[in-house]
Amino acid sequence: MSEMNDAFRDSIGTVTSEGKRNWIFPKHPKGKFYNARTIVTVLYLIVFFTLPWVKVNGEPLFLFNILEQKFILFGQIFWPQDFFIFGFTMLTFLVFIVLFTVVFGRVFCGWVCPQTIFMEMVFRKIEYWIEGDADKQRALSKMPWNQEKIAKRSIKFIVFFSLSFIIANYFLAYLVGMDRVMLYVREGIFLHLSVFIPLVMFAGVFFFVFWWFREQACIIVCPYGRLQGVMLDTNSIVVAYDYVRGEPRSKFKKHRGEEEQVGDCVDCFECVKVCPTGIDIRNGTQLECVNCTACIDACDAIMTKFNRPIGLIKYASESNIAKGEKTKFTIRTKAYTAVLVLLLVILGVLLFSRKDIQTNVMRAQGMLYQEQPNNQISNIYNITMVNKTRKDIPITLKLEDPEIKGTVKVMGKSLVLPKEAMGNGIFIIYIDRDKLKKRNNKIRIGVYSGNEKIDVVKTTFLAPGS
Ligand code: SF4
Ligand code: SF4
């Protein structure tokens, strides 16, 4: 890191010297990164507000019903029996986060995190529309409660709370499905007070975060932000100030004719004025930086004004800056990226190759084999099956090994697996004694729905032995 004064570490931008909240009024960012983030936000919101309406075979595309333990990803229902996939997903997610952060820093925070998207690109934009840019907001906050202030704050309150309530409803739709949310709406709040009251409370939490708590969520609450210190290293790509080029900074270089001795930073503080977390990125990578890129845009505009190359603040690693190199993919970055892609591929294969019917066969407890009158040997089995699909499935069982001529007889009624449920039964396998050479014979049982083989289960068949 640059040899800078570390005094900035003694305080944080959002707290005054008296320990009170220092309200941040970030200037409206403008520039190519902000435009790109606006496009990403529009796509993000389209996806967020559309997905709960999308259905596959009458079921939501995504559902995270924790209470009823029903999870649907890309239209596929996941059961508690799919726990290993869930576990692997969590593990992949953790490794992904660590590797992704080591390589790309907090790109996630700036471009994808719902907190940043909703705060900076939705609620903050609305605030600019209602209250104006930073200077006007500052003036408004100092104003007595006159007509203008009451009107603007009232409009902001109504819009912020309405939007928070809509967002809370959509989160509920991701939990219980849009059909159920629409049912609650049709039947009215009095019939569903137990849902409506928590919903309003959640809307209240969202409102509180976007109205007042704001950047504190990233600085104080978010565990991901607090882990940056251990995950980032000098090769991580972050939003960084090129101190080699920028220092020594000087406001007055033009007037003093000392252009050669000073760096490119004209100390205009534009990068600080736009920062939603109130930091000065020139002090180096800091916990508060959510990589929102607003300071890049602000500084690029200043550099353009002063006829200097843009990129004094840019996506770069500490090593890039120290060595004066351009940001590039190192071998390490490529290797980590390859691991990330591999993990995602494995997870994708696991998700999409997962069986719709899960079968478990065990020989009946305490039973060895039974000698049958027609020179056959029989074994009794218990079968447990989980039907993860949305239709009832009639099941037939067949022996898969052609050299063992045997028959399978299901006890009681024929096996029909009800949709989205577990079923079990008992069946007996009969095999001619002369086909059984050993005491312990490995056999494979095919599980069929009509002519479609949906699973094969391996088990053993006990015989008297030679
Ligand atoms: S330092 Fe720059 S990238 Fe980081 S939060 Fe502030 S404006 Fe955004
Ligand atoms: S915007 Fe650029 S030139 Fe202005 S203070 Fe920040 S780093 Fe220096």
**Per-residue pLDDT tens digits for 148-203:** 999 999 999 999 999 999 999 999 999 999 999 999 999 988 888 988 999 999 99
Residue of minimum CA distance from atom 6 in ligand 1: 275
Whether ligand 2 lies within 6 angstroms of the CB of 196 is answered as no
Whether ligand 2 lies within 6 angstroms of the CB of 274 is answered as no
pLDDT tens digits for range 243-290: 999 988 887 655 445 556 788 999 999 999 999 999 999 998 888 899
Using most ligand atoms within 8 A of CB, pick from 249, 312, 314 the residue to mutate for ligand 2: 312
DSSP string, 150-192: HHHHHHHHHHHHHHHHHHHHHHHHHHH-HHHHHHHHHH-GGGG
Whether ligand 2 lies within 6 angstroms of the CB of 265 is answered as yes
Q: Are strands 357-363 and 313-316 parallel, antiparallel or unpaired?
A: unpaired
371 CA to centre of ligand 1 in angstroms = 79
pLDDT tens digits for range 323-349: 877 766 777 778 877 887 888 888 888
102 CA to centre of ligand 1 in angstroms = 18
Whether ligand 1 lies within 6 angstroms of the CB of 277 is answered as yes
pLDDT of residue 7: 65
The angle that helices 134-142 and 147-176 make with each other, rounded to 10 degrees, is 110
- Candidates 444, 455, 442; CA nearest to 384 is 455
Residue of minimum CA distance from atom 6 in ligand 2: 271
CA distance 245 to 37: 27
To the question of pTM greater than 0.85 for the whole model, the response is no
246 CA to centre of ligand 2 in angstroms = 8
At residue 83, does pLDDT exceed 80?
no
Residue of minimum CA distance from atom 7 in ligand 2: 265
* Closest-approaching ligand to the CA atom of 266: 2
Which atom of ligand 2 lies closest to the CA of 280? 6
Whether ligand 1 lies within 6 angstroms of the CB of 295 is answered as yes
Residue of minimum CA distance from atom 7 in ligand 1: 275
At residue 78, does pLDDT exceed 90?
no
Q: Are strands 376-387 and 357-363 parallel, antiparallel or unpaired?
A: antiparallel
Whether ligand 1 lies within 6 angstroms of the CB of 172 is answered as no
Helix (H, G, I), strand (E, B) or coil at 318: helix
pLDDT of residue 435: 82
271 CA to centre of ligand 2 in angstroms = 6
Which atom of ligand 1 lies closest to the CA of 293? 3
Which atom of ligand 1 lies closest to the CA of 278? 6
pLDDT of residue 5: 61
Residue 241, C-beta contacts closer than 8 angstroms, at least 6 positions apart = 265, 271, 281, 282, 284, 312, 313
- Report the 10 Å Cβ neighbour count for 171: 17
pLDDT of residue 135: 96
Whether ligand 1 lies within 6 angstroms of the CB of 291 is answered as yes
pLDDT tens digits for range 214-248: 999 998 899 888 887 777 888 888 999 999 999 88
pLDDT tens digits for range 28-51: 999 999 999 999 999 999 999 999
Using most ligand atoms within 8 A of CB, pick from 293, 300, 312, 314 the residue to mutate for ligand 1: 293
Whether ligand 1 lies within 6 angstroms of the CB of 290 is answered as yes
